[in-house]
Amino acid sequence: MNLRLRDDQQEALKLRAEEEGRSMHAIVLQAIDRYLEQEADRATVRRLGAKYAAGQADLLRRLGE
């Protein structure tokens, strides 16, 4: 996989890595891990919300009246 960054992104990432004493690679891997975790959490919330809404449809309808 190749990751092509804009020049400004590359420079900002380089500066951040230097400030933190980490590699650009490590920062990118952490960002990917965070993204994947957040998206998994969002999917779980959507799934549970849909399950709850389906199971409580009558109650939700009555509350909306």
Across the range 28-36, mean pLDDT stands at 96
Tell whether the model's pLDDT for residue 63 goes beyond 90.
no
Residue 38 vs residues 6, 12, 42, 44, 46: alpha-carbon distances, Å? 24, 23, 6, 10, 12
**With pLDDT > 90 as the criterion, what percentage of the chain qualifies?**
57
Tell whether the model's pLDDT for residue 60 goes beyond 80.
no
Question: What pLDDT was estimated at residue 49?
Answer: 85
Confidence class for position 58, pLDDT limits 50, 70, 90: confident
Question: What pLDDT was estimated at residue 45?
Answer: 86
Across the range 12-40, mean pLDDT stands at 96
